[in-house]
Amino acid sequence: MSARLVVLLVVLLLFMVIPSAVDLLTEWFWFGEVDYQGIFVRTLTAKAALGGVVFLVAMAALAFNFRLALRRITKPYMLFPGGGDIQPVVLTPRQLQLLGTGLAALVALFLGIFASNQWMIWLQFQHAVPFGQLDPLYGRDVGFYVFTLPFLDLARNLALAVVVLSLIGSTAAYVVSGTLALDPGRGLIVGVEARRHLGLIVAGLFLLLAWGAYLDVPRMLTTPAGIIHGASFVDVNLRFWVFRSLVGVGLLGAVLSAVTALTPRNLPIIAAVGLYVLVTVGGNLAAFGLQRLVVTPDEQQREAPYIVHNIAATRQAFGLERLDARELSGDATLTLADIENNRDTINNVRLWDHAPLLDTFGQLQEIRTYYDFVSVDNDRYLIDGEYRQIMLSSRELNSSSLPNRSWVNERLQYTHGFGIAMGPVNQVTQEGLPVLFIKDLPPVTSVDLSLDQPSIYFGELSNDYVIVGTNTDEFHYPEGDDNVSTRYDGAGGVVISSLFRRLLFAVRFRAYEIFVSSQLNVDSRILYHRNIIDRVTTIAPFLRYDDDPYLVITDGRLVWMLDAYTITDRYPYSARATDGINYIRNAVKIVIDAYHGTTTFYLADVEDPIAKTLQAIFPDLLRGLDEMTDDLRLHIRYPEGLFSLQTSIYSTYHMTNPAVFYNKEDQWDVPIVDGEQMEPYYTIMRLPGEARAEFIQMLPFTPRGKNNLAAWMVARSDGDAYGKMLVFQFPKQKVIFGPNQIVARINQDQDISPQLTLWNQQGSEVVQGTLLVIPIEEALLYIRPLYLRASGGRIPELKRVIVAYQNQIVMEDTLDESLARLFGSALGPAPGALPAGTVLAELDVPQPADTAAAAANAPVGTEPLVAQASAHYRRALQAQREGNWALYGQEIERLGEMLTRLGSEQN
């Protein structure tokens, strides 16, 4: 038996204790390297202190109760009868006492581990910062519900677990000893010691039930109730009193249980249990009756005050209370002058979607198979003096795609990605491919943006460890048939100069090569936690992180910017989002250097009480936003994840009238286009009533069950306007075409639909881009890019741009050409303008003597006819080249009509 025990202990040591200790020690090294050891120590001590206290208290209570009950066993007890070759297991009373103590220690250990994982609840309770907002029913600060109530629940649940386990274990011990038995003739037999002991435990149980009922009163404000989240009519007028009654019944039950413990009578404890059950069941039945007989027949009026509480709390919790709602007339008509006055908006319309652009980058800019473009980011830069929206993507190294996946290649040589692909959102080459401002290896830039350090050691794809500063040169980038090498000169990495450290990391990463490789030296450093999400989550697991980190060029180097949120699901009366939270703030901005790995957390919302509490817990974690460089602050953007959540909530909670809210009379939806819900998108535009264009994020709304447009909502990102949200609403009596209606009209258009069908039949795949809603003044343009991808190919080419305005839909090669067809040709020369009249003569169509002159000298008001004639002519030539003679005939006929009308208007 002893030999088996030794073997068991050795196995436990090898497979549990040593790996855990190695992980702990190597994490200590890493936190020192990133300069956050204070957080590591604070977290570790909090876990150890809370878990240790719970373990000791639980073990003391359980061991005391178990040993007290086991004292009544005075004879050896057969634990296992045995059989065959297996000997029976018989324990002496002393061995039973030791077994009870061991069992108490094991249970207490599990309780301690559970408690240690709740360390943040304890720390937030200790350092809670008040919200300065009171709940509408009891006048408690919101901080009570967010910080105090969770800790009280934790303490009560742990105490309840100890008492219930003590009751179960003690009852079992008394049954084994015969002190507690059920006799068919005499009924329940309870010894004096068992009565006293179990009666006092039950008294403790009743006290905890009374405590739970007391906490249930404020908890009503944080739980769903009928049509709202929070206390409803039934809760306030009935359940409140039921819980208060249960508090009294629990206290009375504790007294009656104590009486039973100290007297030979069983009736008091039976009465206590019966009374508690009666009040609980009776309260639930009464609540059901009150809901059905009183509330349901007049629910709107009964629940109106609580709906008001729910609306106000939800808007406050999701940062919607200061949203600026503005009305639009719905009657605005765009002119050519409006288009020209909003050139900053037009010049930054995003014609490249993320997916097609990522495919194009992958084909044209990956250069080697082991490079990957993971995602495309939207941002804005001042380029050559012009404020422009751009899209960029990092060229990261994917070690799983290496042709020779040896340990040296994956961990020592191919250590980092290199460079980016970056271009404007609205420019294309003649071949329909994106224009790139920064491209190739080594990076070549065609604008006034410098990139001095393009190496990417920390990124979205960098999820494995690498070792730098070794005897092996690192691969930098390919150059012709050769490779350029480099050596890491950054600040990142944990030194592994000693054999002991090499052994530790060999154990941690299950890689013996770290210990035995001759390529490592005293200057070698190991880089891990290189994936930026993993990196920040390891440092601060108590924050929630946005799904879309984005890359920024600043001072010639690459850094990642990432948004983090403070959240809770305990805000009183606030509705819960689909992920369960009911309060959120974008309180933290994070910057991670792609070369050095330096990770800096900035406090972005100084008013957020949860962020203030975290600052009190971890004084060295959050820096002031004023410590961020001026250039980086220009690239702060409103996070898409937060805006998506807020638009989802606002689609219901823009209704502030309780009667309208109850009936959902004005419920909005995010439009569904091509079977998928529209997503928010970034753009640079001049908002109605504003003096200049700015970087915003926007999303349209439609009324629930309808397709017309109801409103559009924006979040601003620039300067002092950062974080401000606006919603522009159209009159309900006006019908403004919505995205789905525009898509249907595009697909049914007699000019566009046949062309799309023809392209698809000719072996190409037509990819319809994101439908963009572009507000100009108080009117709307709908813009949709079209891409063509060759059959079996991966490179999509931007071939057409569709623009819809009111009842008109046009499709041309470029956005400017489409706008010229709608609003006139004064937007500037467009490719493919009308040729001289001699060409038209060959086509045998009506024409003025000199079409070019007519276009140049066209009277005011005829510019749209000239633009339309030009467009019909170009489409006729295109149809001729493609052999589409039906479309060719239609376009020639329309061209003739346009020229005839033009000639008559000139005369």
**Is a pLDDT exceeding 50 seen at residue 831?**
no
**Range name among 106-110, 184-188, 521-525, 551-555 with the lowest pLDDT average:** 184-188
Q: What is the rounded average pLDDT of the residues 296-319?
A: 96
Phi, psi dihedrals of residue 376, rounded to the nearest 5° = -115, 130
User: Which residues, in sequence order, are CB contacts of 503 under 8 Å at separation 6+?
Assistant: 515
The token duo for 166 is: 């003590």
- Strands of 405-515 (E only): list them: 417-418, 420-424, 438-439, 444-445, 455-456, 466-468, 474-479, 482-486, 494-495
pLDDT digits (tens, 9 = 90+) for 752-770: 988 888 888 777 889 999 9
**Is a pLDDT exceeding 70 seen at residue 843?**
no
User: Which residues, in sequence order, are CB contacts of 421 under 8 Å at separation 6+?
Assistant: 361, 364, 365, 373, 392, 393, 395, 436, 438, 439
**What local confidence, expressed as pLDDT, does residue 185 receive?**
66
Instruction: Grade residue 840 by pLDDT with cuts at 50, 70 and 90.
Output: very low
User: In terms of pLDDT, which residue wins out, 85 or 522?
Assistant: 522
Three-state SS sequence of 121-183: HHHHHHCCCCCCCECCCCCCEHHHHHHHHHHHHHHHHHHHHHHHHHHHHHHHHHHHHCCEEEE
**Is a pLDDT exceeding 50 seen at residue 589?**
yes
**Is a pLDDT exceeding 60 seen at residue 841?**
no
**Is a pLDDT exceeding 80 seen at residue 883?**
no
What is the reported pTM? 0.87
Spell out a b/e string for 603-638, using b for 16 or more CB atoms within 10 Å of the CB, else e.
bbbeebbbbbbbbebbeebbeebeebeeebebbbbb
Beta pairing partners, 474: 486
**What local confidence, expressed as pLDDT, does residue 760 receive?**
82
How far is the C-alpha of 24 from the C-alpha of 858, rounded, in Å?
80
Q: What is the mean pLDDT of the chain?
A: 88
Is 498 exposed, middle or buried (CB count within 10 Å of its CB: 0-12, 13-18, 19+)?
exposed
- First-to-last alpha carbon distance for the chain, in angstroms, is 115
Q: What is the rounded average pLDDT of the residues 172-181?
A: 84
**Is a pLDDT exceeding 90 seen at residue 155?**
yes
How far is the C-alpha of 622 from the C-alpha of 615, rounded, in Å?
7
**Is a pLDDT exceeding 70 seen at residue 860?**
no
**Is a pLDDT exceeding 90 seen at residue 180?**
no
pLDDT digits (tens, 9 = 90+) for 652-664: 999 999 999 999 9
The token duo for 76 is: 């050896």
**What local confidence, expressed as pLDDT, does residue 3 receive?**
61
**Is a pLDDT exceeding 80 seen at residue 79?**
no
How far is the C-alpha of 863 from the C-alpha of 855, rounded, in Å?
7
Residues 365, 439 contacting (CB under 8 angstroms): yes
Q: Provide the phi-psi class of 663: left if phi over 0, else alpha when psi is between -120 and 50, else beta.
A: alpha
pLDDT digits (tens, 9 = 90+) for 682-718: 999 999 888 899 999 999 999 998 999 999 999 999 9
Q: What is the rounded average pLDDT of the residues 722-738?
A: 92
**What local confidence, expressed as pLDDT, does residue 12 receive?**
58
pLDDT digits (tens, 9 = 90+) for 21-49: 999 999 999 999 999 999 999 999 999 99
**Range name among 386-400, 666-680, 851-865 with the lowest pLDDT average:** 851-865
**What local confidence, expressed as pLDDT, does residue 792 receive?**
73
**What local confidence, expressed as pLDDT, does residue 75 receive?**
74
Q: What is the rounded average pLDDT of the residues 848-868?
A: 49
User: Which residues, in sequence order, are CB contacts of 357 under 8 Å at separation 6+?
Assistant: 376, 391, 393, 434
Instruction: Grade residue 845 by pLDDT with cuts at 50, 70 and 90.
Output: very low
User: Which residues, in sequence order, are CB contacts of 621 under 8 Å at separation 6+?
Assistant: 36, 39, 540, 601, 614, 615
**What local confidence, expressed as pLDDT, does residue 871 receive?**
74
**What local confidence, expressed as pLDDT, does residue 789 receive?**
87
How far is the C-alpha of 850 from the C-alpha of 835, rounded, in Å?
10
Residues 480, 585 contacting (CB under 8 angstroms): no
Q: What is the rounded average pLDDT of the residues 306-331?
A: 93
Instruction: Grade residue 87 by pLDDT with cuts at 50, 70 and 90.
Output: low
Percent of the chain with pLDDT over 70: 90
**Is a pLDDT exceeding 60 seen at residue 651?**
yes
**Is a pLDDT exceeding 60 seen at residue 146?**
yes
Instruction: Grade residue 76 by pLDDT with cuts at 50, 70 and 90.
Output: confident
pLDDT digits (tens, 9 = 90+) for 436-466: 999 999 999 999 999 999 999 999 997 789 9
Residues 570, 220 contacting (CB under 8 angstroms): no
